[in-house]
Amino acid sequence: MAKALFPRAWVKKSFYFQARISFVRVKYLFLTWLTVLVGSWVLYVQYSAYTELCRGHECRNAICDKYRKGIIDGSACSSLCDTTSLYMGRCLSLLPNNQVYTGSWGDHDGIIRCKLGEVVHYELGEEPEPRRETPVFDKPTKGTSVEKFREMVFNHLKSKLGEQANLASLVGQVLTVADGNKDGRVSLPEARSTWALLQMDEVLLSLLLQDRGHTPRLLGYCGDLYMTERVPYGPLYGLSLPWPLVSWVPSGLQRTMDQWFTPSWPRKAKISMGLLELVEDIFHGTYGNFLICDLSAAQFGYTDRHELRLTNTRAVISEEEFKRTMQVLKCESDADCVYGADCQTSCDVSQKRCRVEPVQPNLAKACSTLKDYLLRGAPSALREELERQLYACIALKGNAGQMNMEHSLILNNLKALLWKQISHTKDS
C-alpha cells in the first residue's frame, strides 16, 4: 500500500514542479516582452525628440540654397557650402527653431547657431504640412546703396540703444563685420546676411561686448547662421543632475554640491573679477546702460586662462528697451513686474502700471551669484572682510544710476580686495 502511494505522490509533486516551471517561464517571457516594449517606446520617444530638436541638416541646406542663389553671402558661406570645411558636430539644441551645434572650422572649435522656421505638428496618418519659414533675407532690397544701408543700420541701432554719442563708430564696426571676404566693400548678399544677424539681439550684444573680452568672439557667419568661439568650461559652477534626481535632492544639499567641483580659490577670484568687470563695463558703458536679467551661474563659463565669458547674451537687455517694455505692462502687484529671470520693478497700484526703474542693480545680483562661490575655500585672513563686503553689495537697492557713488565704491572695494589676494600669483 505504501509502495502504491509513493509513485502517486511523486507524480503529483512532479506535476506541481513542472507547472511551477511553466509559470516562471511565462512570467519571465511576459517581463521580457514588457521590457522590450517599454524600451522600444522610450527609444522611439527619444528619437522623435532628437529628430525634432536636431535639424542641422535642414538649416545647412536652407542656408546653402540661398547662398548658391546669390541671395546671401558671408565669411563662412564658402566653408559651409563649397569646401565643407565648416563642420557641424554634436547637437545642443533645446528648441526646434533655434539650432545649436558644436562646430569645427579649420583650427577653430566653436558653437554654431542657426534659426529655422516654425515646426508644424501633425497627427499620425496625416500628411505633414510644409514648414513655415520666417521671411528673412528680404532686406536690403536690390538697388540699395552702401550709404542707404549704413543709414538703415544706424536707425536700427538707435531704436535698440537709444541716442548714444558713439553710434557712428558702432555702425562702422558692423560694416567691417559685414565685409565677409575683406575686399573693402559690402555686397548686397553680405548686407542681407548682416541685416538678418542684427535682428537677433544676442548677436548685436555680442558685438558690443566682445571687444572687452566678455563674450565669445564671432568667428564667422552665413545668412543668420553664425559661429562663435567655444567656451571650454561652463557653467560657472554647479552640477547638472539627471532629471529623476532633481526632485529628490534637497535644495540645501544641491547648493553645497554645486560648489564641490570648482577651481582653486585664486582662480575663482580671477573668474569673479571678470564678472565684476563685466558689470562695470555695462554700467554707463560706451553704448549706454544694460541690464543682465539672468545672473545665474548657468549663463557664464570661463576659458583655460580662467577668464569669464558671458555665454548667453540673451540675458542682457539695454536699459532703453527694458524701460519701453516695462512701461506698457499692467500689474496688480510687484510680482507682475518681472522681466526675464530677475529684472524686477515695482507696481504703481494706483495706475496699475509697472514702474520702469529696476529694484536691484546688476552689481547686487552679481554679488548674490558670487557669495557662496567666493566664500567657500576663501583664505581665513580674508573671509570676514570678504563676507562683509559681499553682503553690503547684495543690499544695494534701487536704480544704480541714482546711487553712482555707493555703487562705484562697493565695486572698487571688492575688486581691490580680490586683486590684493591674487596679484602675486600666477593666476593673475
Position 105 in a domain: yes
Structural domains in the chain (count): 2
CATH of the domain at 271: 1.10.510
331 domain-assigned: yes
Establish if 211 belongs to a structural domain: yes
Q: Is residue 192 part of a domain?
A: yes
Examine the domain organization and report whether 78 and 202 are in the same domain: yes
Question: Looking at residue 121, what is its pLDDT?
Answer: 42
pLDDT digit string, tens, across residues 126-165: 443 444 445 468 889 888 899 999 999 999 998 888 888 7
d(CA 407, CA 396): 8
**Within a domain: 122:** no
pLDDT(16) > 60: no
Q: Are residues 333 and 213 in the same domain?
A: no
| Gap between the Cα atoms of 404 and 191, Å rounded | 40
222 and 153 inside one domain = yes
302 versus 166: the higher-pLDDT residue is: 302
- The runs of H, that is alpha helices, within 290-340 are 319-327
111 and 225 inside one domain: yes
Question: Using CA atoms, how far apart are residues 271 and 230, in angstroms rounded to an integer?
Answer: 17
10 Å Cβ neighbour count for 301?
A: 21
Residue 336's pLDDT is what?
Answer: 93
Q: What is the pLDDT of residues 302-320, one digit of tens each?
A: 999 999 999 988 889 988 8
In which band, very low, low, confident or very high, does the pLDDT at 49 lie, cut at 50, 70 and 90?
very low
% of the chain at pLDDT higher than 70: 75
Say if CB 177 and CB 225 are below 8 A apart: no
Q: Are residues 77 and 150 in the same domain?
A: yes
Listed residue (209, 189, 81, 93) closest to 136, CA to CA? 189
Chain segment 62-119, per-residue pLDDT in tens: 999 999 999 999 999 999 999 889 989 999 888 888 899 999 998 899 999 998 765 4
Tell me, yes or no, whether 273 and 223 share the same domain. Answer: no
| Highest mean pLDDT (candidates 134-138, 185-189, 202-206) | 185-189
Whether the predicted pLDDT of 402 surpasses 60:
no
Distance in angstroms (rounded) separating the CA atoms of residues 387 and 53:
44
pLDDT at 343: 92
Residues 283, 362: Cα–Cα separation, whole Å: 8
User: Can you give the pLDDT at residue 272?
Assistant: 94
Same domain, 216 and 363: no
Predicted local confidence at residue 132, as pLDDT:
41
For residues 399-404, average pLDDT: 56
Whether 322 and 190 map to the same domain: the answer is no
Give the pLDDT of residue 254.
66
Query: How confident is the model at residue 261, as a pLDDT?
Result: 72
User: Which residues is 317 bridged to in the sheet?
Assistant: 291
When mean pLDDT is compared across 36-40, 167-171, 226-230, 281-285, the lowest value belongs to 36-40
| pLDDT given at position 43 | 52
Compute φ and ψ for 380, nearest 5 degrees: -60, -35
- Confidence bin at 354 (pLDDT 50/70/90): very high
Instruction: Give the domain extent around 297.
Output: 265-423
All three cell numbers of 218: 564671432
| Percent of the chain whose pLDDT exceeds 90 | 43
- Tell me: do 297 and 417 sit in the same domain: yes
| Residue in the structure block whose three cell numbers are 536699459 | 319
Give domain status of residue 364, yes or no. Answer: yes
Is the pLDDT at 196 greater than 60? The verdict is yes
Mean pLDDT of the chain: 81
* pLDDT for 399 beyond 90: no
- Residue 224 above 70 pLDDT? yes
Question: What DSSP designation does 425 have?
Answer: S
Please report the pLDDT score of residue 41 as a whole number.
52
- Mean pLDDT calculated for residue range 266-293: 89
Q: Does 140 reside within a domain?
A: yes
Residue 244: how many other CB atoms lie within 10 Å: 7
Segment 362-396, tens digit of pLDDT: 999 999 999 989 998 899 989 999 999 999 999 98
Among 176, 203, 229, give the residue marking a domain's end.
229
Q: For the chain, what percentages of helix, strand and coil (3-state, to nearest 5) are there?
A: 50, 15, 35
Q: How much is the pLDDT for 104?
A: 93
C-alpha cell at 405: 557713488
Considering the domain architecture, whether residues 398 and 270 belong to the same structural domain is answered as yes
Are residues 197 and 300 both part of a single domain?
Answer: no
Q: Are residues 161 and 216 in the same domain?
A: yes
Predicted local confidence at residue 138, as pLDDT: 83
Whether residue 25 lies inside any domain: the answer is no
| Distance of alpha carbon 342 from alpha carbon 344, whole angstroms | 6
47-56: list long-range contacts, CB under 8 Å, 24+ apart: 50/91, 52/96, 52/119, 53/91, 53/93, 53/94, 53/95, 53/96, 54/91, 54/93, 54/99, 55/93, 55/96, 55/99, 55/116, 56/88, 56/91, 56/99, 56/101, 56/112, 56/114
Domain boundary among 205, 229, 253: 229
Predicted pLDDT at 46: 46
